[in-house]
Structure formats: C-alpha cells, structure tokens
Amino acid sequence: MINAPKKIAVFASGTGTNAENLISHFSNSELAKVELVLSNNAAAGVLQRAARWKIPATIFNRKDFIESEKILQVLLDKKIDLVILAGFLWLVPGNIIHAFEKKIINIHPALLPGFGGKGFYGKNVHQSVIDSGAGMSGITIHYVNDQFDDGEIIFQAACYISRSDTADSLAEKIHSLEYRYFPVVVEKLIQHPI
C-alpha cells in the first residue's frame, strides 16, 4: 500500500521565495505536497506565488493567530501533517505548537544559537553578523518551540564571509544555501523523522 502524500502548510510573511521553492520541489512528489500557504501580511508576495501554483492561501491577523483557535482549526481541517515557517516573523502560539509537536520547522538565516531571537531577521541578521567580525554565517533549520529561534537544530550549512561582503551580498550567499538545502532537508525529515 502506498502512503498518501504528507500535507504541508507553509507560513510566510514576505516575498515567499523559500515558500515557492518548497512548493516547486514537492509539486510532483509522491512523498508530500504543499497544500496551504498562510500569511499575516495581506500584501505579501508569497500570496501571488501561491496563486500562480494554485495553492490555497489564508490571510490572518494577530487576533486570529494568538487569541483564538482559528488558525489551528484551519490546519486541523486541512489535515496538515507538517508546518513550515519560511520567513514568518511571528512567534507561534502554544496551541499550534502543542498540536504539531516536532512537526513545525523553521529556517533561520544565520548559524544558531548566535544571531537569533526577536528582531533577528532579514538584513538585521546579516548586518549583525558582519558587524561582529564573524568569518562565517549560514543557515539553520530547526524545530519550533515557544521561543524565537530556540528549538532543536536539525541541520546547518555554512558559508564564508569575505571582507568585502555587505548585508546584501551576504544575503545572496544565504539565499543560495536556503534554496539548495531547505527542500532536501524537509524531504529527508518526512522520510526519516527525528
């Protein structure tokens, strides 16, 4: 008997390049499919990307997410197996974390535990890494818990920082690591859960 593909929900707040990379990667997969995109930003580019792939999208506000069971119920109604945060900037509330324990994965654009936590996203992260004089940065894929960027680390990949790097050029290096590794790591996790 062939198992039904796992159902993935992707949360994103911005342009959605990582979300689209995941959608594309699993578009012809028998292992998993992105079934839903959720965003807390009605103007987010990820919504147009989802529409192009004919993936349903849900837009929500802070009250829906934090103060009610509305978003949890959406995930349960869609029978979601795995939740992926791809550039999603809000802390996930406890009701969703408990319902999807060890089934919520985030990607962070630095090598945790350094350069993580509230406010460490996008260019803020890359500028902080450069300002610190660090010789390397990278990506961290980790499980989500009730703290920002604090869950168990699943995978890391690194890149060198040159003296001429800016926040923008470092961002390009990080994006290439994200695009290369994120879908592959998610696929391996679905095949062999930790």
Which residues are identified as catalytic? 108
What residue has token string 């028998």?
A: 30
Q: Is-contact 128 107, C-beta < 8 A? A: no
Q: Is-contact 189 107, C-beta < 8 A? A: no
In 3-state terms, what secondary structure has residue 193? coil
DSSP result, 119-136: T--HHHHHHHHHHHT-SE
| Enclosing H/E stretch for 158 | strand 153-160
What residue has token string 């929500």?
A: 60
Cα 173 to Cα 38, 73, 83, 136, 184, distances in angstroms: 26, 37, 25, 11, 18
> Listing from the earlier edge strand, what are the strands of the sheet with 82-85?
57-59, 32-39, 6-11, 82-85, 104-108, 136-143, 153-160
Q: Is-contact 57 50, C-beta < 8 A? A: yes
